[in-house]
Amino acid sequence: MKQFFPRLAALVARLLELSPADVEPLLATPKHPDHGDVALPCFALATKLGRKGKDAAPALAAEVAAKTGQGEPLVRAVEAAGPFVNFRLAPEVVAREVLEAAWSVARYGGSDAGAGKTVVIDFSSPNIAKPFHLGHLRSTVIGWSLRQIFRARGYTVVGVNHLGDWGTQFGLMIAAWKRWGDEAQRRIDAGEDEIDVFVDLYVRINGLKKQDPQVAEEGRGWFRRLEAGDDEARALWRFFVDKSKAEFARIYEVLGITHESDAGEAFYNDKMPATVAMLERTGLLVEGKSRLEQVEDARGALERLLAAIDRLEGEVAAATDEKERKAKQKDLDKAKGKKGDLAKRVQALEAQVAAPVGEDAGDDDDEGAGPADRRPRGVLVDLGNKKEPFFAILLKADGGTTYTTRDLTAVRYRAETYRPEQILYVVGNTQRDHFVPWFKIVEKLAEKGEGWAQGLRLEHVGFGNYLGMSTRKGTAVFLDEVLERARAAARTAAESAEKKIQLNDEQRERVARAIGTGAIKFFDLKGNRTNDIDLSPLTDAGGQPDAGIAWDRLLNLKGDSGPYLQFAHARLAGILRRSEQPIAADGVDWALLGDPEAQALIKTIADFPDRVRQAADEYEPSLISRYLLDLAQRIHVFLHERRVLEPRPEEGDVAAVRRARLLLVGAAKKVLAEALDLLGIEAVEQM
Positions touching ligand ARG (CB under 6 A) are 122, 125-127, 162, 164, 407, 425, 427
> Smallest gap, in angstroms, from Cβ of residue 286 to ligand ARG?
23
* Between 424 and 602, CB nearer to ligand ARG: 424
Query: Is residue 393 a contact partner of residue 367, using CB atoms and an 8 Å limit?
Result: yes
* Between 440 and 603, CB nearer to ligand ARG: 440
DSSP conformational letter for 531: S
* Between 162 and 513, CB nearer to ligand ARG: 162
Query: Is residue 401 a contact partner of residue 223, using CB atoms and an 8 Å limit?
Result: no
Q: In Å, what is the CA distance from 260 to each residue of 147, 162, 321?
A: 11, 11, 73
> Smallest gap, in angstroms, from Cβ of residue 468 to ligand ARG?
22
> Smallest gap, in angstroms, from Cβ of residue 438 to ligand ARG?
9
* Between 167 and 370, CB nearer to ligand ARG: 167
Positive or negative: CA dihedral 483, 485, 491, 495: negative
> Smallest gap, in angstroms, from Cβ of residue 427 to ligand ARG?
4
> Smallest gap, in angstroms, from Cβ of residue 325 to ligand ARG?
52
* Between 126 and 609, CB nearer to ligand ARG: 126
How far is the C-alpha of 99 from the C-alpha of 77, rounded, in Å? 22
Query: Is residue 681 a contact partner of residue 521, using CB atoms and an 8 Å limit?
Result: yes
Strands laid side by side in the 75-81 sheet: 38-41, 84-89, 75-81
DSSP conformational letter for 146: H
> Smallest gap, in angstroms, from Cβ of residue 666 to ligand ARG?
42
> In sequence order, what DSSP letters do the residues of 600-648 get, joined into one string?
HHHHHHHHHHHHHHHHHHHT-THHHHHHHHHHHHHHHHHHHHS-SSS--
> Smallest gap, in angstroms, from Cβ of residue 278 to ligand ARG?
18
* Between 248 and 638, CB nearer to ligand ARG: 248
Q: Find how far residue 94's CA is from the centre of its chain.
A: 34
> Smallest gap, in angstroms, from Cβ of residue 7 to ligand ARG?
46
* Between 127 and 168, CB nearer to ligand ARG: 127
CA dihedral 180, 185, 187, 188 (to 10 degrees): 140
Strands laid side by side in the 377-381 sheet: 286-287, 377-381, 390-395
> Smallest gap, in angstroms, from Cβ of residue 164 to ligand ARG?
4
* Between 29 and 127, CB nearer to ligand ARG: 127
* Between 111 and 431, CB nearer to ligand ARG: 431
E strands, 4-111, are 38-41, 75-81, 84-89
List the Cα angle 345/349/350 in 5-degree steps.
Answer: 115
